[in-house]
Structure 1
Amino acid sequence: MKLLTASRLIDGEVVWLAADNHWAEDIAHAEIARDEEAVERLEHAGREAAARNEVVDVNLIDVEFVDGAIRPIRLRERIRAAGPSIHPDLGKQARRGVLAPV
């Protein structure tokens, strides 16, 4: 399973492409690609958004489900999904329902 992530250009916020082709700030709203056709659709949408200067650093990432929640496989992406690892009171992890990075 894969998701498309990027950084929103206007404010640097980590975002994920949602099913309705908007960029969500919460990984729980991301569209999950479960087959090659869906992966290609995400890649195409990411290229278009980057060309419109909406986002930068567009990447497909591998994810799994942990206790019913989406969890990136790589630690880097878990930290990006949660926020700064040294300040649990700041960033996305300070919001309810976000998995801790480690």
Structure 2
Amino acid sequence: MNKVLTANRLTDGIAVWLGANGQWLESIDNALIGRHQEAVDALEEAGKSAFNDNLVVDVDLIDVEEIDGDIFPIRLRERIRAAGPTIRTDLGKQSEFKPATAA
């Protein structure tokens, strides 16, 4: 199963995902996907390093699927984190991104 690395940025608590360039992104859309065990292991090491450098907290590898080039978390909790709060979707961060949908 495909996995991406997610965490919360330490400075402001925003949910972030590790991108291919090694930066933490506020959108899951460009997250680096681990498609085999070696890639998943590398993601896990990158998460440990970022945690140890006090960049992020609550680091976790999550299961995702790709549909037509879009990334969708499998678990509901992660779909909510990707889309933003479930109330007042017209305000805040969640209004800037397309909502994550159930696959």
Question: How high is the TM-score relative to the length of structure 2?
Answer: 0.90
The range that moved more, 39-48 or 59-68, is: 59-68
Number of equivalent positions: 102
Residue 68 (structure 1) aligns with: 69
SS at match of 2:44: helix
| C-alpha contact 2:16 2:25 (8 A) present in aligned 1 | yes
Partner of 1:46: 47
Query: RMSD of the alignment, in Å?
Result: 1.7
Tell me which residue corresponds to 2:21: 20
| Structure 1 segments (4+ residues) deviating >4 Å | none
Q: What amino acid maps onto 1:37 in structure 2?
A: E
Percent identity among equivalent residues? 57
SS class of match (1:57): strand
For 2:82 and 2:92, the matched residues in 1 are separated by 9
Q: Secondary structure at the match of 1:88?
A: coil
Residue by residue over 1:26-73, the C-alpha shift from the partner in whole angstroms, topping out at 9 and shown as x without a partner, is: 101100000000000000000000001000000000001234311100
Verify the 8 A CA contact 2:83 2:97 in the aligned structure 1: no
CA pair 62-73 structure 1, distance change in 2 beyond 3 A:
same
Counterpart AA for 2:21: D
CA distance in 1, matches of 2:53, 2:26: 19
CA distance in 1, matches of 2:27, 2:97: 11
- Asked if 1:86 is matched to 2:48, the reply is no
CA drift at 1:101: 6.7
Separation in 1, partners of 2:76, 2:33: 19
